[in-house]
C-alpha cells in the first residue's frame, strides 16, 4: 500500500502529478473512495493518487438519458440525482464495502475503472456497455478524451471500453459519461424453493427463454438463502420489473411456464429490493476474510464449476446472472486454492476467475486476475506500454502472467 496520499483538486493538477511521477519513476496507486483497495497483488506504491478532489456532476439532462460526472463523485450522489428524475444506472453496480470492511465511499470513476456490474447485467449489459465517454490522464501526463454524450459507432481504438475494467492500470480516469434508463415503477420476485443446483440452472434458463422479461435470475443454496431471510431450503429467485399491470401479467406467464416447480412463493416489492441488494453487494459473504472468488462462465456451466471445486475444497457458492456468475467463498482463510479453481473453470468450458478477497500474504503469491493467453497478454502489454510507458500506474492491479505483469 502507498505511504503518501495526493488528491488533486482539478484535472490539470492531476496531470502535473502524473508527469512528475513519470519523470521520477514514482509508482502511483490510483484509488477513488478506497473501497476496493483489497483487490489485486500486494505492491508497495510510492504514492496514493486519490480522485477525492475531483467531484461533482458536470452535466445531466434527464431528457437525454445521459449523465456526466467527475471521477471522485460518490455513486450515492449519482443515484440520488437519478432517483429524483425516476432514472437509474441500469447495470445495477454493487457496493462491496462489506466484503472488505472498508469505510470509504464508492465513486463513479472507480465503478467504471473496475467495471462493476450487478444482477441486471444479464439483460442491461455491463458497466462498460453503458459507458459513453471518458476523460483520463495517461502515463505521460496527457489528458485524453474519448467518446461523448451519445452512443455511436467508433473506429480505431475504443478507449472508452478499454478503460472500463482496466483497474487504473492504463490511466487516471477524471470524468465519465454514462447512459441512464428509466427506473421501474415496481418489482416482484418469484422464489422457487428446494431446487438442486442442476435443476435450478435449468429453471433459470427456462425463465430467461420466456416472454416474462426476467431482470434477475439467481440461485442461493440453503445456507446462503437463510442469510438473506429466505426459509424453505435453497432458493431460485427470478425478478420482474416494470409497470404494475405489466409485472402482474408477466408473472402469470412465468408461473405458467414453470408450473412443474410447484414449491414457489412471491416476494413483494420491499422484500424483493432487499433480496437483490444482498445479491448485488454479495452480502452473504461479507464480514470475513475468507478467500472469495468471482467466477464468470457460461450460465449452464456455473453449477458444474462450483460442484467440481467444492468436491476438493470446503466452501459454499451462490449463482447470479442466470448461473453464469459464481460467487465462491472458501472455508479456509490460509489458501485460495487458485489451481483448483482455475482448473475447474478450464474443464467446464473456460471463463474467468478473479480472487476478489484474501489475506495479504495469499494475494502476494496468488495470480489474482485470470492469467491471459500469451497472444492476449502480449497485446495487453503493448497497449499498457503505449498508455503508460514508464509503468507507474497501479502495478498491484495488473494481470500476472508467469512472472510478468501486463495490463
- CATH number reported for the structural domain that contains residue 319 in this entry: 3.30.70.1710
Q: CB neighbours of 204 closer than 8 A, spacing ≥ 6?
A: 217, 218, 219, 236, 238, 299, 322, 323
Would you state the cell numbers that stand for residue 340, as one nine-digit string?
483448483
Maximum CA extent, the chain: 67
CATH number at residue 31: 3.30.465.10
> Structural domain tally of the chain?
3
Q: What is the pLDDT of residue 395?
A: 78
* Position 109 pLDDT exceeds 80: yes
DSSP conformational letter for 36:
T
Cα 309 from Cα 345, distance rounded (Å): 9
What's the whole-number average pLDDT of the chain? Answer: 92
DSSP conformational letter for 366:
S
Domain residue limits at 207:
186-277
Q: What is the band of 147 on the pLDDT scale with cuts at 50, 70, 90?
A: low
Say whether both 52 and 165 belong to one domain: yes
% of the chain with per-residue pLDDT over 70: 94
Beta bridge partners of 31: 50
Q: What is the pLDDT of residue 154?
A: 43
Q: What is the pLDDT of residues 2-30, one digit of tens each?
A: 578 999 999 999 999 999 999 999 999 99
Say whether both 132 and 263 belong to one domain: no
DSSP-derived 3-state class of residue 21: helix
Q: What is the pLDDT of residue 146?
A: 80
Cα 378 from Cα 380, distance rounded (Å): 5
Strand ranges (E), 194-260: 216-220, 235-242
Say whether both 54 and 75 belong to one domain: yes
Say whether both 33 and 127 belong to one domain: yes
Q: Is residue 101 within 8 Å of 206, Cβ to Cβ?
A: no
Q: What is the pLDDT of residue 402?
A: 34
- From 245, 260, 277, the end of a domain falls on 277
Q: What is the pLDDT of residue 38?
A: 87
Q: What is the pLDDT of residue 151?
A: 40
Say whether both 30 and 136 belong to one domain: yes
Phi, psi values for residue 185, rounded to 5°: -70, -35
> CA angle, corner 257, sides to 251 and 274, nearest 5?
40
Q: What is the band of 403 on the pLDDT scale with cuts at 50, 70, 90?
A: very low
* Position 149 pLDDT exceeds 60: no
Would you state the cell numbers that stand for residue 370, as one nine-digit string?
485470470
Q: What is the pLDDT of residue 152?
A: 43
> How large is the average pLDDT for residues 127-146?
94
% of the chain with per-residue pLDDT over 90: 83
- Three-state SS for 108-132 is HHHHHHHCCCCCCHHHHCCHHHHEE
Cα 28 from Cα 117, distance rounded (Å): 26
Cα 310 from Cα 329, distance rounded (Å): 10
Amino acid at each position: 500500500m502507498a505511504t503518501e496520499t495526493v488528491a488533486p483538486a482539478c484535472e490539470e493538477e492531476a496531470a502535473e502529478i502524473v508527469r512528475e511521477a513519470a519523470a521520477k519513476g514514482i509508482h502511483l496507486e490510483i484509488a477513488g473512495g478506497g473501497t476496493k483497495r483489497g483487490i489485486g497483488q500486494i505492491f508497495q506504491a510510492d504514492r496514493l493518487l486519490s480522485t477525492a478532489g475531483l467531484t461533482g456532476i458536470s452535466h445531466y439532462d434527464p431528457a437525454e438519458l445521459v449523465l456526466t460526472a467527475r471521477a471522485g463523485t460518490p455513486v450515492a450522489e449519482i443515484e440520488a440525482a437519478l432517483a429524483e428524475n425516476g432514472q437509474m444506472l441500469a447495470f445495477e453496480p454493487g457496493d462491496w464495502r462489506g466484503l472488505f470492511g472498508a469505510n470509504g465511499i464508492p465513486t463513479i470513476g472507480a465503478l467504471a475503472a473496475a467495471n462493476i456490474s450487478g444482477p441486471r447485467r444479464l439483460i442491461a449489459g455491463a458497466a462498460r456497455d453503458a459507458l459513453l465517454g471518458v476523460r483520463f490522464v495517461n502515463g505521460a501526463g496527457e489528458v485524453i478524451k474519448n467518446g461523448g454524450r451519445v452512443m455511436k459507432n467508433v473506429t480505431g481504438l475504443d478507449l472508452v471500453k478499454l478503460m472500463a475494467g482496466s483497474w487504473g492500470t492504463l490511466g487516471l480516469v477524471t470524468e465519465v459519461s454514462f447512459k441512464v434508463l428509466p427506473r421501474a415503477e415496481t418489482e416482484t420476485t418469484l422464489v422457487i424453493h428446494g431446487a438442486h443446483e442442476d435443476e435450478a440452472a435449468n429453471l433459470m434458463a427456462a425463465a430467461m427463454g420466456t416472454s416474462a422479461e426476467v431482470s434477475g435470475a439467481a440461485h442461493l443454496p440453503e445456507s446462503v438463502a437463510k442469510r438473506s431471510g429466505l426459509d424453505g431450503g435453497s432458493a431460485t429467485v427470478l425478478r420482474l420489473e416494470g409497470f404494475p399491470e405489466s409485472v402482474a401479467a408477466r408473472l402469470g406467464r412465468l408461473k405458467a411456464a414453470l408450473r412443474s416447480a410447484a414449491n414457489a412463493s412471491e416476494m413483494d416489492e420491499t422484500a424483493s429490493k432487499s433480496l437483490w441488494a444482498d445479491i448485488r453487494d454479495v452480502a452473504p459473504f461479507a464480514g470475513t476474510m475468507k478467500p472469495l472468488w468471482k467466477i464468470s462462465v457460461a450460465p449452464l456451466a456455473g453449477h458444474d464449476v462450483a460442484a467440481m471445486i467444492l468436491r476438493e475444497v470446503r466452501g459454499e457458492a451462490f449463482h447470479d446472472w442466470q448461473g453464469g456468475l459464481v460467487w465462491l467463498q472458501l472455508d479456509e482463510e490460509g489458501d485460495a486454492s487458485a489451481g483448483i479453481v482455475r482448473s475447474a473453470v478450464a474443464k467446464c468450458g473456460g471463463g474467468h476467475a478473479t480472487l476478489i478477497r484474501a489475506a495479504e500474504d495469499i494475494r502476494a503469491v496468488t495470480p489474482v486476475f485470470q492469467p491471459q493467453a500469451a497472444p492476449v497478454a502480449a497485446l495487453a502489454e503493448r497497449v499498457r506500454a503505449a498508455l503508460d510507458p514508464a509503468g507507474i500506474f497501479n502495478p498491484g492491479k495488473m494481470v500476472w502472467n508467469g512472472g510478468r505483469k501486463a495490463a
